[in-house]
Amino acid sequence: MNNHLCIGPEVAKALAAGKPVVALESTIISHGMPYPQNVETALLVEKTIRDNGAVPATIAIIGGKLKAGLSREEIEYLGRKGQEVAKASRRDLPVLVARGADGATTVATTMIIAAMAGIKVFATGGIGGVHRGAETTMDISADLEELSQTPVMVVCAGAKSILDLGLTLEYLETKGVPVIGFGTDELPAFYTRKSGFGVDYRIDTEKELAEAFKAKEDIGLKGGMLVVNPIPEQYSMDPDYISQVIDEAIKEANSRGIKGKKVTPFLLAKVAEKSGGESLASNIQLVLNNAIVASRTAAALSLLK
């Protein structure tokens, strides 16, 4: 297809055989969690996907190649280098590829590379969105634009309230992105199962998720689909506690004048630092939970020919 794309052998084999494949992002590895939990989690997510009948394709840019399916060594490399690896969203692709550089792919870039490779389902933790105060900063994640144009289903645990969740939903509505609650009528807020905001549709089975995605493809509608899957009850956090931590992190970002692509990693790191191990443990569990739903959905989709 293009000589910049490099599909790992296990992924290529699964795709050729029409077997289920689930894409995974790498910003969560390099910028979303500390080492070594980032590497351990990335490998555990891959294992969970295999245990649920699909093949994992962790996506990243390595030496300028758009990789779909990383080796254990490559995951270890990205995890160890952490923030030194450039966070790569859509606008970063041309220069990183031309320079033969490395990049940790965000939701947007992971969707782009997944679609190039022919992967339809992608599991992650949280997506980017419309930031609080975006009416003056215009800080709106490229993830939302990507969801409106690239045909990949993204399974996440909603969005953290480092974002303005109401405005994020409005933006997705404008862009025509279906927001589907998996077993819920409410948008989950990453660490908590509830946010007070409703979703467009509630779907209770992976088979029905697959049917909705297939219908979108059949009618030739461009763009993706956002599935929001609440964190399992036993790992969810106290809403008042986490919202206080997030408010403090945002105040600190504002007072330090953090801007552009640094905003989200700064807030994620601050929240993790302030809430310690508890939020990291929740974060890991919700990603695993999303990997299970994504694997089963990819499996259901592979049967709908």
Residues within the interface to ligand PSU (CB under 6 A): 25, 27-28, 32, 89, 106-107, 125-128, 141-143, 160, 190, 261, 264, 268
User: DSSP letter string over 52-118?
Assistant: TT-EEEEEEEETTEEEES--HHHHHHHHHHGGGSEEE-GGGHHHHHHHT--EEE-HHHHHHHHHHHT
Q: How far out from the chain centre does Cα 280 lie?
A: 16
CB neighbours of 281 closer than 8 A, spacing ≥ 6?
A: 235
Which helix (DSSP H) or strand (DSSP E) does residue 24 occupy?
A: strand 21-24
**CB of 177 within 8 A of CB of 146?**
no
Window 80-119: contact mask with Mn ion (x via CB under 5 A): ----------------------------------------
What DSSP state is assigned to residue 186? B
CB closer to ligand PSU out of 161 and 302: 161
Q: Token pair of 53, please?
A: 């009948």
Comparison of 190 and 213: residue with beta carbon closer to ligand PSU = 190
The interface region with Mn ion, picked from 39-47, 138-146, 199-207, 249-257 by CB under 5 A, is: 138-146
Nearer to ligand PSU, 253 or 299 (CB): 253
Residue 178: name its binding partner from Mn ion, ligand PSU, none (Cβ under 5 to 8 Å by kind). none
Least distance in Å: CB of 151 to ligand PSU? 17
Which residue is nearest to Mn ion, using beta carbons? 139
Closest CB to ligand PSU among residues 105, 302: 105
The reply to whether 139 sits near Mn ion by the rule CB under 5 A is yes
Stretch that binds Mn ion, among 20-28, 45-53, 134-142, 269-277 (CB under 5 A): 134-142
- Say which entry of Mn ion, ligand PSU, none residue 177 contacts (CB below 5 to 8 A, set by partner kind): none
> Rounded to the nearest whole angstrom, what is the least distance from the CB of residue 70 to Mn ion in the complex?
25
- Both tokens assigned to 60: 């990243």
Decide if 174 contacts 203 (C-beta within 8 A): no
Dist CA 35 CA 257 (whole Å): 27
Q: Which are the catalytic amino acids? A: 25, 160
CA 196/CA 182 separation, integer angstroms: 16
Number of residues that bind Mn ion (CB under 5 A): 1
Nearest-angstrom CA–CA distance, 34 and 276: 11
Decide whether 21 or 267 has the Cβ nearer to ligand PSU: 267
Q: CB 80 → Mn ion: shortest distance, Å?
A: 26
Residues found near Mn ion in the complex (CB under 5 A) = 139
